[in-house]
Amino acid sequence: MGSIVQNPYAVIIANGESCSLQLTTKVLSEAAFVIVLDGAMHRFLELNVHANVLLGDFDRNDHAFEELKERFPALEIIHTPDQEATDFEKGIHYAEQLGYEAIIVLWATGKRADHSFTNMANLIRFNPSLSIQLVDDYSVIYRIPKVFEKYFEKGSIVSLVPIGKVEGITTENLKYSLTNEALELGIRNGNSNEAAASGIVRISYQTGEMLLMECHD
């Protein structure tokens, strides 16, 4: 697992592939607020850990309400029937409304490829002041600003993923360096780059939107 945002942060439990119990409990134990999306409620119930809010359109899982209310009497249930937004988007907006600027989303990848892809791509739709990380057992995925700096150990895998076309990219301390170059999703990607030495990696770009993926096997 890569880096995790600083406290206080909210956690959203989505409906993708479940992360390991070790990772899930670690992230939840340090969370200030936990939102469970309705598609994940049954698997989340099996963990028997605390959550603050259950959120979604509840178009498939109404029969679970009584069990939820019995086991978690303080759990707030929020019905969000708007079909123009996904439960993932609703969860992010709800956390933002509560004042959280740091959000970790667990179980947002794996299982359905369409959901995984749109969850990643949709990161660029949210307020850029938010720090949103999609975290699973192998990756930490987040949007980066036009100028980004972070410490990495030598050999750390750093994948630059353009959403659409990104131009004017210049990097420092990456094995495969870029100097005022362009990446375009599906045309030229920046997968599997790595830190050339332990220290600060710097990435800057002029136009477009880009995600960074910290990955390990």
pLDDT at 133: 97
pLDDT at 63: 58
| Number of structural domains the chain divides into | 2
Q: Does some domain include residue 76? A: yes
Residue 99 has pLDDT above 90, yes or no: yes
Tell which of 90, 118, 138 closes a domain. 138
Q: Does some domain include residue 129? A: yes
Q: Each residue of 21-47: pLDDT tens digit?
A: 999 999 999 999 999 998 888 888 788
Q: Each residue of 132-160: pLDDT tens digit?
A: 999 999 999 999 999 999 999 999 999 99
Q: Do residue 127 and residue 178 come from a single domain?
A: no
Q: Does some domain include residue 112? A: yes
Are 184 and 212 in contact by the 8 Å Cβ rule? The answer is: no
CATH number of the domain to which 150 belongs: 2.60.120.320
Q: Each residue of 202-215: pLDDT tens digit?
A: 999 999 999 999 99
CATH number of the domain to which 27 belongs: 3.40.50.10240
Q: Does some domain include residue 126? A: yes
Q: Which domain holds residue 178?
A: 145-215
Backbone angles phi, psi at 174, to 5 degrees: -110, 145
Q: Does some domain include residue 3? A: no
Are 208 and 166 in contact by the 8 Å Cβ rule? The answer is: yes
**Residue 104 pairs with which residues in a beta bridge?**
11, 133
Q: How confident is the model at residue 65 (pLDDT cuts 50, 70, 90)?
A: low
Tell which of 138, 161, 191 closes a domain. 138
